[in-house]
Structures are given as structure tokens and as C-alpha cells.
Structure 1
Amino acid sequence: MATPNKIDDSTQYWADVLSKNWGIKSKLTRLDGEYDLNFLAISTSKKHLILKVMRENCPEWLVKSQISAMQHIEKIANLPTTPTVFLSLNGQSCIEVADKTGNLRYLWTLEYIPGKCLAKLRSKPPSLVKEIGEVLGATTKALSNYKNKKLDRDFKWNLLQSGWIDDHLTCIKNKKRFELIKNISVNFHRRLPELKSLNRQVIQNDPNDYNIIIAGDYDEQKSVSGIIDFGDMCVAPRVCEVAIAGAYIVLDAPSPEKSLVALVSGFNQTCPLTKLEIDMIWDLLLMRLAVSVVNSTMLALEFPNDPYVTVSQKPAWDFLENHKINAELLKCRLRKACGQEFVPNERRIRSWIYKNCGNFAQVIGKPLASVPLVSLAVENSSIPKNPFKLSKHEAKEIGSAETCENEIFLGYYNEPRLIYTAREFSFGPYKASNRRTVHLGVDIFAPAATPVFAPLDGEILAIENRENALDYGGMIILKHKTDCNDVFYTLYGHLDPNFRKQYKVGTKIKKGEQFCVLGDISVNGGWAPHLHFQIALTINGLENDWPGVADPDDLGFFNAICPNPAAILNLTDERVEFRPIQKAEIYAKRTEKFAGNLRLSYDDPILFLRGWKTHLFDEWGRPYLDAYNNVPHVGHSHPRIQNIASEQLRKLNSNTRYLHPNQTDLAETILSKLPESFKVCFFVNSGSEANELALRLAREHTKAKGMITTDHGYFGNTTGAIDLSAYKFNKPNGVGQPNWLELVEIPDDYRGTYKRDDPNCGVKFANQINQAIKVLKSKNQKLCGFIAETFPSVGGQIITPPGYLEAVYRQIREHGGVCIADEVQTGLGRLGDYYFGFEYQEVCPDIVVLGKPIGNGHPIGVVATTKEIANNFDNGIEFFSTFGGSTLSCAIANEVIKVVDQEALQANAKKMGAKLKTGL
């Protein structure tokens, strides 16, 4: 066994060697490596390259094999992900040089691949993993005709030779771990004859996550920029390459199966795999991890202080001990991802079912062709009220309105629904983790005790009573055969479990024979009486526990295993298959009907159809944690806001020209939260209007126009608000800074002129105000005031340093100006310790602006000010906003403030803020 890197690492010595032999003067930085020295060389001309200094006694053939393999790839495929090897001044690809101790070393240089290793990425989306597979496949294909007998060697990392670990399993002292690795090895040896039967070629053999380089900054699209380190090359079946990559891709992946499927499908695109190869991937992947943990355990015993040798041990053990991957289903997934038949004769089975459509017995004894369908889809239904908890009442009342008109109705196949709220329907640790929402069967709603008939001959495969709430209740699975003896299965759920007295597993059921009845809510899982009817083309990996509902991100796979059962109900697929609203169509219409500067968030825009408190739901029912939007102050679709809005709309929605208690109640509530000096409120429709009105109030009060604000600010989309917003007017094609406005530096004590380690940085930022006032005077602009978000949001969510606003306000007031606090994003308790942001700075503004959060999404804005300023604005010209301060708006805003208080949301903001700050 080789010894980890102990070579002299004198960077200057090797820099001199590089300069002498390659003519490149550079600064060297040591990089990681297990046995060899690796340096990043940055030349005086800023050229980047890699200098490799091989370990003592490293065979020359190994160095030259790596070089020739990379040169072969460059010649055959010209892959930009394979580094180019640079020749020395005398035209050699590698040279032999003595180190400082006199020992000879092989040296070579190659292209530096920009980016970071895959291991250091926190997020590895399937699209990126698929690209990794494509690049590995292309590399493997390019190496398929590269011949090098030296690489057909005895090597512990060659999967063909992995059996060596059997003699070293005793190094694993934990009994459970010992048995785990032993079982993996046993399964590997069962497959070894098949593995040896495959064609062999040279493979890179070490595509671990430290040898895959990813380009793209944190805010850019990621892509594969390089595959490095060909030092472990060997001759082996090509499937070993993708299995080895998969062994690292699954570690720490939130959804290991999806990541592996993405990798293998990408590899298959550029290097097509056979069905046998695909079926071997999982066992080979596990064996690679077994080799890794055995090897690292042995090395850790030999070199206990060297962290490199155990770099992947913990995540490998975590995966091996805790994964819940179903091996049989995984084979089906991988086959399908690679375009193979995932079930023997699946196409023939489908064809037979469609051919016999119209000849099957009616499942409930009646034709269903004219029976109406009722949608429970995300886009069509508000059930359940709480998308994370379907109540017993809601479950039993599903479809009750339709039942009044139609005794029987159908529920769609492939319909995304939010009614599946039991813990079993979510696979992750959080509410927004991998939730199953898409219905995989057809529902037939009918009265309890409705007879159920076999649509074709079958045999009972499973007979169960699942008594948990919102489960199946009585459930039967029938096994069927086609004319060609191909097997498929049908499932019947929500039955009366009394059938267990008459039938057992193995009982033959004839076509048209009644074998059960629909259960009522006391025995069918608590649902409105209905039959869940589903088919499956295989039960390998499923057995009796079929998913009746699929994760939308896994839908393609489960649609293949459990296709539309319409034909067995003597219906067309189109009759019962739900087609959700098409995001692409909505996007196209929006692009056509709206201006291009009405932007969408995200490269792949999201279509949201429902919201509940802190979560949003797209058209497929995927939940998203909403940590971005500041509008729903008390949460999306808060029940109390729903109720107060609908109640007020049933009474009256009028304006401020008429008396109504809602308006005065809201004014009193808002003023009770503000300092004593605030006596008057104005109601408008948005934060933009509120800032515009605040500007008018200030100008009328001071009889001046000159304003000062911080750089990068944003105050809304009205003309006056845009004139104040450097974030808008300083953009390319912006209107530019108006003559009456001066900008001061945003008080960012991390990136700004003054840093947080200076206790006076807040005052120093504030002292820029005096210069701004001087500039205004030089332009004959009298000072009107200062406006800013208390904590600048667009400027970077800046927490202003202590003393900043106190010093700003003092200087503004000394020169006759007023101080406006934009509290649209910081007000109403969301700071935790403070109800308003200005309280944090221990100041009292003259005008406070509130916006969208106070309406929880309903359009309302508020300007609060002193009596003196309000009186000066009352100049004989009426102020009126048709919908500003409407009875509906005031009722909603008043309820929002009550919810904040009564549900202790300010205390919750403090608690969650502390948790986030600690975690970050």
C-alpha cells in the first residue's frame, strides 16, 4: 500500500524548476493531493497552470499513460473538459528532476481548469448532475479506443478486483457496519461473473467529487468545466466509470435516486449503456463505497493524523447506513431514464389493454362514459383550507356538493391535489420536502355499499385492511394475465373490509364477478365513499405498497409503472386524464400581453396557484417555503384575513367621503403604535403612493424641494418616487438624478467607506449629510428633507450602524428639513425587538410611510405624521384617494395588526431571526 504524500513541499524550489524547464516565472500555491504534490502556478503574465510533482519511485509509465490518455482524448473528441498538457522548453511532456533531498521526481504541467470542485458545491441540481454524466460518458467513449497494456494492472481501485476487501473486513470493529459491508461484497460477487463478461476498456476510474470541476460563480449558471486526475486509470468495463461517479453523487444528495438517475441518463446519452450494464450500476456503486470505507479505515489506523485519507468516510457511512433506496425500483428508474423497457414487454401489455378497451366488465356495474368528472386540482379547488392538514370533515365531504346532483362522479388520473396531507405523503424533513400530490388512479365516487366487479379474470394477490386515517381501509390487488401471459395488476382501495371473510390470497376472480363493495367513512380511511382504481405493470419493489399518489418530480417514472387505467374502465385516456394549466402557455401570453420590463423572478419562472401562511404551491402542488416575499405580513391566505375580507365585502366597500368606524379604528390602532408626536393618518393604495404623498407633505411643510437620500434606494413606481430612487434612475436608460436630489453613501459598515470595527462609523457615514446640503445650496435648492428605508433593502438588507439616523436627523433638522422613515419593509413587528425600524436607531421621524405588508397583499398604504405637518398640507386643496382607506382596506389592515399582536408574531420574528442569524 502506497504512503500518502510526504514529499518536500518547498514552493520556491519547484517554482525555480518550473521557470528553468518551462520558461514560466510564477508563484506557486499548494493544492490537495493524496500521494503527489500539486501546485497552482500563476505566472507573472497571470497565466494559470498546474504543476505536478510525482511521488518518489512513481513509475514513468504511469505519468506517461496519463499524459497520452489526455492527449488521445484531445485528439479524438477535443473535449474542453480534459486538461491540455504543456510541453517543456525542450519539447518533453514530462521531465525528471531531483528534489531538494536529491531524490528524482517526474514533473509535468497541464492546463488549469477554472472553477471549484463539485464537493464544495452546496447545491447540485439534477441538470448539473446530468451534464456531469454527459461529460463522463463522452470521456469514456473517447477512451474506448485508447490502448495501453500497462493499465491492465493489479489495482485496489479497479472495481473488477474489489474482492480484496474481504481479507480486511476485520478492520471494521462495529458489528452492524461489518455485516453491512459483508453483504454488499456478497452481492458484488454474485454479479462478478456478469461484470467479467462485459467488454473492457481504459476508464478514468476516479470521477469523485474532488476530480470534477464546476464553473460558475454563486449567482451564475453552473456547468462542468473539467475532469481531472487520470492517475487511477485502469482497464475495466465502462459501466464501472458511471458507477464510481454515482457513488460520490449520491453522498449528501437530498434525493439520491434522482441524482443517480440524472447522472446515468446523461452518461447514457453520450455513451449508451446496455440493459445488463444499467442493472449492475447499483451493486457496483455500493461496492465502490465499500472499498472506500474499508480503505480509509485501514489508512486511518496507519496514519491517524492525516485527514485526507478519511475525507469521504463519514458521508459514505451515512449513506450506506441510512439510505432508503429500493434496489428493484431503482433498476426500473434507470432503465426508463436510458430509454430501455423498464418492465419486460411493457409495450405489449399496454397494447393489449388498449386493444380490449370496451370489452372489460364495468367495475361498478354501470357504464362510466357519461358520468361527470369533478376536479380536486390545486388550480380548481380550495380544499383543504390548510394545505398541510386535511380535516376529517373535509375528507368525508369531498364531492358532497356534486353528490347532490350526481350520485356517481369520477376523479381524474394524474391530477395534482393538496388533499394528501398525512405524513406518509412527504419524504423529507420539512413541509416543503418532496411532497406527493399527483393522483395515480381514477376515483369513482359512489354511495357506500356500491358493488365492485372484476373487469377481467384475475387472482387475488393481496387482501388488506389499512385502518389508518386517510389510508385505503379495505384494499385488494388482483393479478391478471394477457393472451401472451404477460402479467399486470389492478388495485381497488377504500373498500368495506368484510371481503376478508370470503376471500383470501390466491382466490380466482372471474371477469364480471362481484368481489367487494365500497366502504363508508367508518371503514374506508375516513373519505367520502369512492373507489380508488389503479393499475401497475410491475410490482417489483412495490409489492403490496403501491403509491397511489406521486411526487410531481417523479411523475414520469410512476406514470410508466402505473399508467392511466381508463381503458380498463372502458374509457379513453383523454376522458379522465387531468391536464393542468400549462406554464409555458401562461408565459407566452404574458410575454405577448405585457411589457418586457415587467419582470419575472428566476430563470425558470414559477407558476403559483395557492398560498398558505409561509408556503406557496405551484400548479403541481409542489410546496415552496416563501422566504422572499415581504407582502404577506401574517402569511398567505391567513384565515382571519380571509374571513374579515369576505365579511366586509358582504356588508359594504366604500370610500373616505363617508363616515365609517373601520377608518377611524385603523387610524387609532396605527397611531397607538407610533410615538406621541404622531397624530394624523392618510390612507392610500400602495407604498409608492404613500412615499409620493410623504414627499408632498414635506414640501408643503417646508416650502422647499431639495431632498437627500441614500444611494441604491427604491421608493416606488410613481414619478416622484422614481425621482428619489437611485436604484431606478441610475440604471442604464434611467432618467438620471434630478437637480433637487443629493445622494449619500449607503451606511454599509461591511463594504462601505467606514467599517464596523470603528465605533464611530455610524456618525461618520451621517456626516456626509452636511456636504450634501452644501451641494443642494450650491444649486439654489433649499433643503426639504431626508428620506430612507430604515434598513436599506435593495441596497443589501443593511442594518444601519448605531448612531447613524440620530446624527442624520439632527443635521437635517438643524437646516430646517423633515425626516421621513420608509417603514414599508421594516415596520409592524417584523424586526422582533422593535415594532418599527426607527426604534432600533432610537430616533423619531416626522413622517412614517407604511405599505404593502399592512394589507397582507391587499392594496393599502399609510402615511402617518404630526398635526403641524398635516395642518400645513391642509391648504384648501382636497386630498382624496378613491380606494385609499376604503372600508375593506381598513378592515383588513386593522385585522393584520391584531393578528401580529394576538398571535405573537413579533416574538416569533425575534425567535426565528435569532435562529437564522445563528445558523448563518
Structure 2
Amino acid sequence: ERPDDPYMVISEAPAWRFLERSVGIPESRMTAHLRIACGLPATNAADRVRAWLDAERGAFAPVVRADLASAPVHFLALADSATPQDLNRMNDAEALALGPEVEGTDAWIGRYGEPRGVYTDAAFRADASPGSARRTVHLGADIFLAAGTPIHTPLNAVVEKVAYRDGHLDYGGMAILRHTTPEGDEFATLYGHLSAAAMSHLKPGQRLDRGTAFAALGTPTENGGWQPHLHFQLVVAPDAMPTDWPGVADPDDLALWQALCSNPAALLNLADDRVAYRAIDEAKTGEHRAAHFASNLRLSYAEPCLFVRGWRTHLYDQWGRPYLDAYNNVPHVGHAHPRLAAIAQDQMARLNTNTRYLHPAQIEFAEALLARMPPQMTHVFLVNSGSEGNELALRLARAHTHGKDMVVVDHGYHGNTTGAIDLSAYKFNKPGGGGPPDWVHLVPVPDTYRGSHRGPDAAERYASAVEDALLRIEARRGRLAGFIAETFPSVAGQIVPPAGYLRAVYARIRAAGGVCIADEVQTGLGRLGAFYWGFEEQQAEPDIVVLGKPLGNGHPIGAVVTTSAIANSFDNGIEFFSTFGGSTLSCRIGTEVLRIVDEEQLPANAAVTGGQLLAGLRTLQERHPIIGDVRGIGLFVGVDLVADQATRAPATHVAQYVKNRLRQERVLIGTEGPADNVLKIRPPLTVDAGDIDHLLATLDRVLGETPCLVPGQGEAQ
């Protein structure tokens, strides 16, 4: 009615896209889809079919001659199973060992509606990328029995379709039977993973009496490569099914597919609950968390995430949806690295003890760390986290200098122990934080975009602030212990200090008798690409280096590396001991992480993919005025969002919108900075070019939604 109204054209766009995609879809299927979308059954007959099956439960002929009522149910859901290890490629051995081996009439059951990671073949995915939408939810029930086991029809049937689908991880032999209720309503049953021989004597239109053995289970060479089992699927609206009769659904379309393909338990003479997958109740999980944990244990994102699996750069929710992890720096060498899983399993099967006993693994780990450090670093202390490491570094500095006072960078973060929080302006300067102790002296963040020094002399001018801090120590008659900083301040907004800043700071601290501590938790182990350590980029050599979470790739490890002089000063007769710091298991995992970083050339990958990411972000900056600054090195990257390019006013609300919208698009990033307006991007070092392209394309699309959130930017677009 209003063809010239642009709002009407925009609001109609989704409907037109739907209609365009529906071209060529049979009317019966399209009608069923529309009915389901409106909350109706797929067909008028669907509910009657379900009611009749429920009433007849227990009276159907057995599909297999096995005691299914007492057969165990084996869980294959992503939340319950580590098969396959690589969620993008299941190997043949894994497909042949989904669960217990069976003999004779022994059987076990696989659940209906269960989201599984085993469907990795290209046929189950929208495209070849690891983050693509995929079909994961099982639409039938599985009965695992020996190959050759006869399969019977549970009631009178007419053969609808017979096929032999020989693709990898496909059905192999497949038969579809059509049935009719006494009221004349039709439904179908699908049987997958049958022997090839059965396909030769079944013909469409052939009638089968109740209880007829019409097929047998195939061997792995003829059933798609699977451990022998029957895929048994009930279709209550067969005319609405596509011609390929899928047995697995995309979780985003689950309401549709479960309306077409109901739980087949009744036809197996079993209760629905015995066969049905019971999803993790995410709302109740959140309620229980709130009841048992303090409210300041925060969740990321407005809509919390529940993840059950990880692989390389992706996290997977319970339904198998992949999320690109562009935020977590803990899985430094990728989520669920198989070499680390093997090391952990092997060592836990042998021994896990502490540093009060000799073990070669301790020496191997220490030597691997020292080999990557400047030559003056000779001693290693092993702890459980970066927080413990920074707490210990403070003790080392004080023992060596006999001073107490520390110079720290504003908005820095060094951990959650009492001493580490005392050093962390990110914590103590927040409301309720109590402010800094009298022995802590702040210097400005060396931020050349938002800070007071932005020119070519910024490094020296920021470093000179240390002199004022030293004067404050002198004025209070204190004594300097040292200086600590995240080598590249992360929570301050992914800051890259101006060249020479740390070298100039360290010179002033040492001249005043202090020691220099580099907190490398965020930047170490090759994250910066061309630089293994952040202090290398700054051409500075610290006296103490603190390492944390990336060193264990998810296992709790921290390390403090220092000189012999400082280590000797700390040996004051009081034993240093950590029950789990330097455990046999931790040492082996830490050593393996260092090897993986080298052998898989992850710093080189960080340099290449980080360069791709930064170049792409700068291209987006040209299109989106909300981006004020793009900064970073390697895979340590920040995007500063501004409400106004001239004033650089932080666009905090937009940053939160972007972060949460990306989460909805299954891309995970964080936000940081004093105004929480900086997009924080720091993926595992295994990220690849396709991941970066996906991140950039998704961010571009989401940023395109933001002009309406900032007055004036809508017109600029």
C-alpha cells in the first residue's frame, strides 16, 4: 500500500528473503514449516499419530531381538563425551569405538535429541570453516548391536524408499517404511546403517507384515564407517521431509525437526524418558551458581555462555554450536591440545608429587624456561598462577633491596592475592577498592592515544613520571623496592607503550636502587609474534619475570624467573614451598606448552594472523567513525571506540553493545580500559586466516548497526 515508504521496504526485507529461499520447496513441506513456526503441529495428523503410538506403546513387534528395557544407555552428547577429540574431523578409529563393544544379543542405546560432536563430515556443515553452522542433534534413537543382527518392522508397513548411501559417515544401507494408523493417518520409520545385501531385495511399494525381518545391521565397511548400530527414526509428517531424509538437525532449527521427527521410544516399547536426551538446564545452572557463589563472581556477556567442549580456537555449547574464541589467552596453544591431554593422562597415571622430591621433569621445565630468557636469568620459582607469581615477585624485590615501596602503572592488574591487589590500581581505585596503600606510588599509563603525552618524545616524558614517584617515596621516608608493570598494559586498554619507555623506566628504577619486574602473563610466549617477550620489544631487560596462565594452557601454572643475586637474597633461612607449584604434572605440561609453541611455529603464526587482523581493523576504521584507534602487535590487539573523533570521548555503551552482539553472532571478545570502551582481542595462537576473516566480517556487520547509538554518527554514515 505504501511502496515509497522506505521503512516499509526495510521491514518487509526478511519476508521477501524467506519467500525467495522457498522457491522450489514442495508445498507440503513449506506448509508444515509455516505451521510449526506458528506453534501448530506439522500437519493435522501429526498429533493424532503421536497419540496413537503412545496408546499402543508396549504392543509393537520388537525391532530387534534384544532386551532393550534393560539395555544400558550410553551418552554420546558433547557434554558427556570427548569423542571425537577434533570436533572438525572424526577419525576412523573414533567412529568405530563410540561406546562399549557388544556381542550376541547384548545391546546399548544412544539417545534421541542428543547433540553430538561425531557429525564432522562436510555433509553436516554449512561450509568448510570450523565456525560454520552444523547439524549436531540426533533425530532418532540408536541401538548398538553386532553386525548382522536382523531388523524387524514393528508393525505392518510399505517400503517407501531404499538407498545405499556410501559416503563417509553417512547411512550406508537405508530403508524407509510407511505405516498407517487405524484412522488412516500416515507416518514413517527410517532405518540406517544397514547391510548392503538388504538393499537388494527391498523394493519401493513392497508390503511387509508386522515383525518381518527385512534387513540386517551392516559392518563398518558398508554402514558409513560406524561402529555397528541401527539408527531408528520416527517421522510423523513424512510428506514434509526433504528428499535426503536427514537424521541429524541443526540446533537452531530443532523445533522444526523435532516436530517432524518425534521420539521413537513408543515403537521400541520403551518410555520416552529412557531414550530422550535431557539438556543441561542453563537457567537453573545460573540460579544454582547465584545461590552458591558470591555475586561479585561475574559472568561475561548479557546472555551468559555455557560451554562444554573446546578445540583450537573454538568453544562449543551443549548443542554443538561453535563460537570463535577471540578473547581467551589461557588456551595459548589452542583449546584441548591433544599433546597436553596425553601428557596429563600419562603423568596422572604414574605420579604427581611436589618439589620436596627430585624429579627430572622439574629440571627439564626450568631449563626450558631459562633457555628462552636473557642470560642473566638463572633461577626459577614455580607457583600455580600469575597472581602467586606477582606476590612472590614482590617478596623477592623486598628481600633483595630491603625496601618496601613500589612504583606501579595506573590501571594495572597483577592478580587477586592481597599483595597483588595492593599493586593493582585496576582493583584498588575502583569504588570500594580503598585506594592504594601508602607504599604504592602510581605513574601514568603510557597511552599515546588517550594519555597526556602523544608526540615523538612520549616515551621519555612518560618515563620521567617515575622521578616524581621516587620523590614521593623520599618525602615519606620510604625505601624503594622496585617497579612492576604489565609489559604491555592490558586491562588499561591493550596499550602498546612507546618505543624505549620500559628501558627508560628501568634505568631510573635501578639508579634508585630498585629492581624491575616484568609481568609477562599477557604478552609472553610469542603472543606478540616477532617478539617472544614484551620486554624484548621494549629493548629492556628486567630483573624478575612473572609468567602465568598461558604457560599451562588451562592447567594452573605460574613461574617467577630471576637472577642468582635476587634468588640468593631471598634465601633468608625460611623455606619457600608450594604444594602444587612445580608439581610433576605441572612441570611436564609447562615443558610441553613451550615445545608446542616452538614446534608449531606459533609466534610466526601470531605475526602473520596478527598483521592480517590489524590491517583488517584499520580498513574497518576507515568505514566506521566509532573506531578511534586500532593498536596492537601480533595477537595482542585493542580497538578503542569513541563517540567523537575530535574529543575521543569513550563510547562505552557502544563497546558493550558490540561485545554482546558479537557473542550473539558466536564470536567472543572482551572489553577493557578505564572507560571499558576498548574491544580486547587476544585469541589463542592457533587462530588462522579464516578465523580472522570471520571475525572481521562479523565485526564489520555489527559496527554497521551502531551509528544510531551515537548522536551525529548516523548522519556521518
Give the TM interval when normalised to the shorter protein: 0.7 to 0.9
1:325, distance to aligned residue in structure 2 (A): 8.0
Matched to 1:376, the amino acid is: L
CA–CA separation in structure 2 for the residues paired with 1:749 and 1:332: 60
Cα drift, residue 475 of structure 1: 0.5
Aligned to 2:594: 897
Whole-Å Cα distance in 1 between the matches of residues 66 and 487 of structure 2? 68
Deviations 1:314-347 (A, max 9, x none): xxxxx89xx9988765543332222233323222
Instruction: Check the 8 A contact 2:66/2:106 in 1, yes or no.
Output: no
Whether the aligned pair in 1 keeps the contact of 2:66 and 2:107 (CA below 8 Å) is: no
Query: Residue 357 of structure 1 is aligned with which of 47, 57, 70?
Result: 57
1:393 paired with 2:93, answer: yes
Amino acid at match of 2:8: P
Give the partner amino acid of 1:908. N
* CA distance in 1: counterparts of 2:254 and 2:524, whole angstroms: 43
Give the AA of the match of 1:694: A
2:513 corresponds to 1:819: no
- Provide the C-alpha distance between the structure 2 equivalents of 1:629 and 1:324, rounded to a whole number of angstroms: 44
Q: Secondary structure of 2:143's match?
A: strand
Match of 2:406 in 1: 707
CA shift in 2, pair 1:247/1:557, >3 Å: closer
Q: Does 1:845 align with 2:550?
A: no
> 1:428: Cα distance to partner?
4.1
> Displacement of 1:495 after TM fit?
0.6
Tell me if the contact between 1:474 and 1:523 (Cα under 8 Å) persists in the aligned partners: yes
- Counterpart residue number, 1:207: 8
SS of the counterpart of 2:474? helix
How many Å separate the matches in 1 of 2:104 and 2:478?
A: 73
Q: Which residue among 263, 266, 277 is the counterpart of 1:564? A: 263
Structure 1 residue 377 corresponds to structure 2 residue 377: no
Map residues 240-259 of structure 1 onto 2, 5 A cutoff.
244-247=12-15, 250=17
> Could you say what secondary structure the match of 2:371 adopts?
helix
Q: 2:35 aligns with which of 317, 326, 335?
A: 335
Q: Which residue of 2 aligns with 1:579?
A: 278
Amino acid at match of 1:869: I
SS at match of 1:400: coil
- Letter aligned with residue 383 of structure 2: V
Aligned residues: 617
Q: Describe the superposition over 1:437-482 as per-residue Cα deviations: whole angstroms up to 9, x where unpaired.
A: 1111011111111111111222222110000111001111112222
Distance 1:786 1:741 in 2: 10
Q: TM-score, normalised by structure 1?
A: 0.65
Cα deviation 1:55-85 (Å, max 9, x = unaligned): xxxxxxxxxxxxxxxxxxxxxxxxxxxxxxx
Match in the other structure for 1:875: 572
Report the Cα offset of residue 569 of structure 1.
Answer: 1.4
Measure, in 2, the Cα distance between the counterparts of 1:653 and 1:398. Answer: 30
Is 1:460 the counterpart of 2:261 in the alignment?
A: no
Equivalent residue, structure 2, for 1:108: none
Q: Is the 8 A contact 2:332 2:550 kept in 1?
A: yes
Question: 2: CA distance between counterparts of 1:446 and 1:844?
Answer: 65
| Structure 1 counterpart SS, 2:253 | helix
How big is the shift at 1:359?
A: 2.2
Tell me: CA distance 1:515–1:544, structure 2 relative to 1, closer, same or farther (3 Å). Answer: farther
Aligned to 2:688: none
Q: Secondary structure at the match of 1:207?
A: helix
* Correspondence 1:165-204 to 2 at 5 A: none
What is the alpha-carbon distance in structure 2 between the residues aligned to residue 854 and residue 919 of structure 1?
Answer: 29
Mapping of 1:316-331 within 5 angstroms?
A: 329-331=29-31
Change (3 A) 1:581 1:404: farther
Which among 348, 363, 366 is matched to residue 667 of structure 1? 366
SS in 2 for 1:397: coil
Q: Deviations over 1:105-149 (max 9, x none)?
A: xxxxxxxxxxxxxxxxxxxxxxxxxxxxxxxxxxxxxxxxxxxxx
Matched residue of 2:316: which SS?
strand
1:660-694, Cα deviation, whole Å (9 max, x unpaired)? 21112111111111111111111111110100110
Q: How big is each residue's C-alpha offset from its partner over 1:11-33, in whole Å with a ceiling of 9 and x where there is no partner?
A: xxxxxxxxxxxxxxxxxxxxxxx
Asked if structure 2 preserves the Cα contact closer than 8 Å seen for 1:462 and 1:544, the reply is no
**Structure 2 CA distance for partners of 1:739 and 1:404, relative to 1, 3 Å:** farther
Could you say which structure has the higher helix fraction? 1
Which residue is 2:324 aligned to? 625
Look up the SS of the partner of 2:363 in the other structure: helix
Change (3 A) 1:605 1:380: same
Q: Aligned to 1:646, what secondary structure does the other structure show?
A: helix
The CA deviation at 1:634 is 1.4
Task: Please tell me the residue identity of whatever aligns with 1:494.
Answer: H
Q: Quote how far apart the aligned CAs of 1:866 are.
A: 1.1
- Structure 1 residue runs of 5 or longer lacking an equivalent are 1-150, 159-203, 210-241, 251-281, 287-318
**Partner residue of 1:431?**
130
Q: Which has the higher Rg, Structure 1 or Structure 2? A: 1
Relative distance call for 1:404 and 1:849 in structure 2 (3 A) is: farther
**Alignment match, 1:742:** 441
In the alignment, which residue of structure 1 is the partner of 2:48?
348
Deviation at 1:823, TM superposition (A): 0.3
The aligned amino acid for 1:781 is: G
Q: d(CA) in 1 for partners of 2:15 and 2:265?
A: 40
Letter of the structure 1 residue corresponding to residue 45 of structure 2: N
Whole-angstrom distance in 2 between the partners of 1:404 and 1:812: 74
Helix, strand or coil for the counterpart of 2:151? Answer: strand
Aligned partner letter, 1:433: S
State the Cα RMSD in Å: 2.2
Match of 1:47 in 2: none
Percent pairwise identity: 52
Residue among 493, 505, 511 paired with 1:796: 493
Cα 1:326–1:823, aligned 2, differ >3 Å: closer, same or farther? farther
Query: Which structure 2 residues correspond to residues 96-495 of structure 1 after superposition, within 5 A?
Result: 157=3, 206-209=7-10, 244-247=12-15, 250=17, 282-283=18-19, 286=20, 329-366=29-66, 368-401=68-101, 403=102, 407-495=106-194
Q: Mind listing any 5+ residue stretches in structure 2 that lack a counterpart?
A: 618-717
Are residues 864 and 327 of structure 1, via their aligned partners in 2, closer, same or farther at CA, if it must alter by over 3 Å? farther
Are the aligned partners of 2:103 and 2:146 in contact in 1 as well (CA < 8 Å)? no
- In structure 2, distance between residues paired with 1:630 and 1:206: 43
Q: 2:244 aligns with which of 529, 534, 545?
A: 545
User: 1:537 offset after TM fit, Å?
Assistant: 2.2
Q: In 2, Cα distance between the equivalents of 1:751 and 1:539?
A: 63
Deviations 1:879-901, CA, capped at 9 Å, x for gaps:
11122111211111111111111
State the secondary structure of the residue aligned to 2:473.
helix
Secondary structure at the aligned position of 1:373 is classed as coil
Query: Does the aligned pair in 2 maintain the 1:477–1:544 contact within 8 Å?
Result: no
- Residue aligning to 1:809: 506
Shift of 1:807: 1.5
Between the aligned partners of 1:326 and 1:661, the Cα distance in structure 2 is 69
SS in 1 for 2:445: coil
The worse-fitting range, judged by mean Cα deviation, of 410-419 and 422-431 is 422-431
Query: Is the contact between residue 206 and residue 245 of structure 1 (CA under 8 Å) also seen in structure 2?
Result: no
TM-score, length basis structure 2: 0.82
| Aligned equivalents of 1:205, 1:918: Cα separation in 2 | 35
